[in-house]
Structures are given as structure tokens and as C-alpha cells.
Amino acid sequence: MDNLRYKRVLLKLSGEALAGGKGGGIDPASIEAFSREIVHVASQGLEIALVIGGGNIFRGVSESARGMDRASADYMGMLATVMNALAVQDALEKHGLDTRVLSAIDMKEVSEPYIRRRAIRHLEKGRAVICAAGTGNPYFTTDTAAALRAMELRCEAIFKATKVNGIYDKDPMTNPDAVMFKTITHMEALEKRLRVMDTTAISLAMDNKMPIMVFNLFEEGNILKVAKGEDIGTTVTGG
Ligand code: UDP
């Protein structure tokens, strides 16, 4: 058994993680890779709640910029997260992990409704809980849903999986001299507008002293390393 630092965490996967290198849509090979890791850490006793984004399929804010009503576009974005949740559920279950999809928008044929106490019960029984449809409200993001669910479900940390190694002083994709922070406070992340998560999500995490571990999802073994408390990526804490 690996020695884990956490008992229960919330793992935030953006839609991008499901698209792999393809930029959009759902790429089964990418889902397969991180699902294997999630199942491994769960088998070591980590209770995992997941919040899945939808940006690989639909992002409300971009579509409203192109003329759609923002709330309608956001509801479409939330529905996109349900599709992603079902794809991740399928992959996790193929590897033998029991899961439940809990949706913030009622969709009883494909998921359970999100009921906090029920979600906690599933986690206690060792099932991965996949939270779909974000917060259920337009004008929010799945990052905010991740912060909200992490608090409600009494998770010890948010694991924010990204395509870069951590939080940098500037965008590492376009600036080769960007420097990565090892640790940073929520307040610094807000003040410096570092865009690790949106400001609503970071504020919520800050007010409730919820640490955020930012790490690269595409490096194999990273989920386990973070779960063991290894010093990879950036830790957002305190302040
Ligand atoms: N969304 C929403 N309310 C929520 C969560 C998500 O309206 O509580 C919508 C919003 O339009 C967002 C889309 O769903 O753009 C997809 O979520 P997000 O952009 O957070 O996905 P990610 O960037 O993680 O792939």
C-alpha cells in the first residue's frame, strides 16, 4: 500500500484533459490514461470526488460572445459536462472502480441527482463520485463547482490537474522564461491574476482555507505523487 497523505480529495479535470492532444471532443485514449491512475490511487484507499469540465465540447462564455444568450449557452456547457462525466465513468468502471455520476441538473435516466449526504455516503463506500453539470447555475464555471463540492464533501484538498506543471508567473506556453511557484497563497494568486482557477473559485477556496494542488495531468504517476504529498507542482495555500 502506498502511504497517502490525504483521505478524501476533489480532483478537477478540465474538458481539455478529455480531449487529449485533439483540442476538442472526447479522446478515449487520454481518458484511459488518467483513469488507470485514478483507479490505482482509489485502490490505495483515497476517496475521490471528481468535477469534470466541459470546455472540450462547449463553453458558454465563448458562445455568448458570438451572440448566444449567456444563460442558454451556459446551460449547454453544463450539459456538455454530463457527457464528459459519462465518458469518465465508463473508463473508470472498465478498470473496476465503482462510480456514481451525480448531476446538479436533474437527469434521472443517466445520473443520480446531486445530494450532498448521498455523495458523502458513496465516498465512504469507496465509490468515486463524479459531479456533473457544474453548480447547476449559469454564470459559474466548473472550477467554482470544484471549490464548492470540495467544501461540501469535506475534502482535504482540491487537486487541479492541468496541462502544465504548476502555476507560473506568466503563461509558460508562450513564455519560455516563465518561473513556476512552489507555493503561493490564494491571495497572491488573486492579486497577481495568475488564472490558476477563476477568481470566484479561488475566493471560495481562500475563505474556507481549502488548499489547491496544481500539477501536470499528462505526466504519468502524478496523481499518485500528489496524493502521497510529494513536492511536485504548485501548492496554493493559506492567506
Ligand atoms: N457552466 C455553468 N455553470 C457551472 C459550471 C459550468 O454555466 O456551474 C458552463 C459554462 O458555460 C462553462 C461550461 O459549462 O463554460 C463548461 O465548463 P468549464 O468552462 O468550467 O469547463 P473546463 O474549462 O473545465 O473544461
Model confidence pLDDT, tens digit, residues 97-124 = 999 999 999 999 999 999 999 999 999 9
| 98 falls within a domain | yes
Mean pLDDT of the chain: 95
Q: Which of 32, 40, 39, 84 is nearest to 58 (CA)?
A: 84
The answer to whether the CB of 140 is under 6 A from ligand 1 is: yes
Cβ-based neighbour number of residue 220 at 10 Å:
13
Taking residues 82-95, what's their average pLDDT? 98
| 236 falls within a domain | no
Tally of structural domains, the chain: 1
Question: Which atom of ligand 1 is least distant from the CA of 52?
Answer: 24
pLDDT the model gives residue 239: 56
| 239 falls within a domain | no
| 3 falls within a domain | no
CATH code at 139?
Answer: 3.40.1160.10
Cell numbers standing for residue 142? 466548473
Q: Is-contact 123 44, C-beta < 8 A?
A: no
**If pLDDT is split at 50, 70 and 90, which confidence band does 127 have?**
very high
Which residues form the domain of 216?
Answer: 8-231
pTM of the shown model: 0.96
Model confidence pLDDT, tens digit, residues 159-198 = 999 999 999 999 888 999 999 999 999 999 999 999 889 9
Please tell me the distance between residue 196's alpha carbon and the centre of ligand 1 in angstroms: 15
| 2 falls within a domain | no
Please tell me the distance between residue 60's alpha carbon and the centre of ligand 1 in angstroms: 7
DSSP β-bridge partners for residue 99: 128
Q: Does pLDDT of 90 surpass 60?
A: yes
Model confidence pLDDT, tens digit, residues 53-62 = 999 999 988 8
Q: Does pLDDT of 31 surpass 90?
A: yes
The answer to whether the CB of 211 is under 6 A from ligand 1 is: no
| 66 falls within a domain | yes
pLDDT the model gives residue 1: 62
